[in-house]
Structure 1
């Protein structure tokens, strides 16, 4: 007896009607609402928008001042002082840090604004066509990953503040010592005032949050796309498994036949999913490029400074190794989470290859060709794709870079 298998399978695969809505989109929206506190106002009101413009202006002012100080040093208009706080590397890293913060704010703002349309398209995939059961763990995983990134980043920044001022810094001298130590590329002792120190202190925290947030966006969006591919692949695996069991049970008069038009629905679901990934890649590509270049620069800088300056107090050593480890872990997490999209986009092929020949049809063949030839990945504006091979290539490049720097520095 011929039945509407695709509807029956989906009913078996879902436990109840209230579980048919995936929790990923509301959870991401909640994360973006929190982002209004550090300058991304899309899900806020007029106050959030005013704060975003203020943050943008202050970051731009600090970046302009840092670049001007760097130009003066390169032009010979200012000299390196004896304790080395005005070296080119430190002024350059300060300029890059705030340049990344400014670009991160702008690009994150643009992406979160576009997310409204992307989420509507994502929701249509969830509620129309091939309706899949929700990922019951996605909300918990998104919250856990966001909390872990926030916690590790908070500890790293606290260690950087202690390292900059020392453990026994008097409270009344803390702000001055911290600003002059961490922003020596921007201010000298005679230029210090409380009216400059307070905005610099606030913007340094905002810049650090934005740096971590840009990586968080990439990781969370990658988790959502991977989750959807996983559910689609699981559905195909279940269908093929039923087809194989039905082939053995034909002699009992209980055939299980999946119609061509049902396989067409599955193939079209993969087409729409691939279109969603490409849309996100187009809108997220600039942020991926910025994140990759910024993480690569600061990893190389940390390695170089650590090799040159092995000595120091205990807190400085703890901060150095923790900061370097956190940088490496976060950068690897970005690449590996995005690489999972590419891996899961082709995982259904292994199930299609074992599909019984008696039920093999043109739509299955088209789906195989589509999954085999379609290139699904996140990229940095098309300059490179994020996959696991790139991780090894970047590691080799960092080693070469450090060796060259050490050779010329000696």
Structure 2
């Protein structure tokens, strides 16, 4: 049985994230959000700090690698991957501090809105969130396992290093062996933090989708009530005023949520935009084997699909906020009053959407803007690609750019 609250719907997803040091908040599985707590002096917080420190050390090795060798585009890709996802983990840690108050406010708005009467309506949001989480996390895990398989296949055929495990670590994490002598446990530890950063990338997109589903459902809850009076005559101004207050409560909640998560949204969109451009640029490279080619196109398709999912789910908030206009158009002239006029003007003219620190708003127009930006950047990168020299760090003397792709796959 569900109570229809966002706090209840996201509890299990946050529990999975905490395994990777993200959102160290207590009380995520409790029934009442007032029991949520963020504790600095706690095991979960320490767990998260250890992960952050480990990822910082990994990033510092990449910075040293770039600073002490020839600057190449592939090395900048590694740096971007590690830096942006480390920033995402830090932003989630900051969000964890705000999460109890944010969810209590969210819960208050949910209780203020007209109640959900049927169990189907109460479980709809939780079902959508869990299905989106299952698809994103399973796809991300499958894509990463495929990258490891392809990387292991290439390492197993390395002519210069007979140990396939050593060859795998040398090909994917050359920055480590510039400072430290080879050891299996150090290679495994480096791979572990790579997995943490990879999960952070996927979870950042998933989190934006989850937030979008939760906020869209609140508008849909109000829109369902408005549809009941669509075309009816003799509706009192007081009822319109009541619905307008409901609408303003949801808009206020979106403003609060946007202030808390806008940094995460900015990282999500910019990260995906950058790596789509990189992957499209890599499509010009010749792949050493069919396995590399297969993995590349699977990875690119997954990345584009996930980016579209983030954009479209997020745009759903703005779409749902405009649906009351359909009801206003059905109001006859005799029933048109000042409350309907105010309500109509707010819905028609306000931009209700999440944003990336106010640099952009997540609406359907953003999808076309991102597509145009990708084309523009790609033309620049293609020119840059023509002047890019092949790196010389690959001990197996295979396609270096593909090997670099494996390192953040």
**TM-score above 0.5:** yes
Contact 2:155 2:164 in 1 (8 A): no
Partner of 1:43: 26
Q: Retained in 2: the 8 A contact 1:218–1:288?
A: yes
CA contact (8 A) 2:240 2:340 kept: yes
Q: When the two structures are superposed, what TM-score results if normalisation uses the length of structure 2?
A: 0.83
Kindly indicate whether residue 125 of structure 2 is the aligned counterpart of residue 138 of structure 1. yes
Task: Give the secondary-structure state (helix, strand or coil) at the position aligned to 2:283.
Answer: helix
Structure 1 counterpart of 2:57: 61
Residue from 52, 71, 82 that aligns with 2:67: 71
Which of these residues, 301, 307, 312, is aligned with residue 331 of structure 1?
A: 307
Partner of 1:183: 173
After TM superposition, the structure 1 = structure 2 runs for residues 7-406 of structure 1, keeping only pairs within 5 Å, are: 21-40=3-22, 41-43=24-26, 46-74=42-70, 88-133=72-117, 134-166=121-153, 169=156, 173-188=163-178, 191-241=181-231, 243=232, 247=233, 257-307=234-284, 309-406=285-382
Q: Which runs of 5+ in 2 are unaligned?
A: 28-38, 387-409
Moved more, 172-181 or 191-200: 172-181
User: CA RMSD for the aligned pairs?
Assistant: 2.2
Name the SS of the counterpart of 1:38 in structure 2.
Answer: coil
Contact 1:42/1:109 (8 A) holds in 2: no
TM-score norm. by structure 1 comes to 0.83
Q: Shift of residue 135 of structure 1?
A: 4.2
Q: Contact between 1:56 and 1:105, CA under 8 Å: does it hold in 2?
A: yes
Q: Residue in 1 aligned with 2:395?
A: none
Deviates more, 1:34-43 or 1:376-385: 34-43
Q: Cα offset for 1:393?
A: 1.9
Gaps of 5+ in 1: 1-17, 75-86, 248-256
**How many angstroms does 1:185 deviate by?**
4.1
- For the residues of structure 2 that align with 1:225 and 1:129, how far apart are their CA atoms? 13
Alpha-carbon distance between aligned partners in 1 of 2:86 and 2:95, rounded to the nearest angstrom: 14
Q: Is the 8 A contact 2:321 2:347 kept in 1?
A: yes
Q: Answer yes or no: is the 8 Å Cα contact 2:6–2:107 preserved in 1.
A: no
Q: Aligned partners of 1:150 and 1:297: how far apart in 2?
A: 21
User: Deviation at 1:190?
Assistant: 7.4
3-state SS in 2 of match to 1:35: helix
Number of positions where the alignment pairs a residue of Structure 1 with one of Structure 2: 365
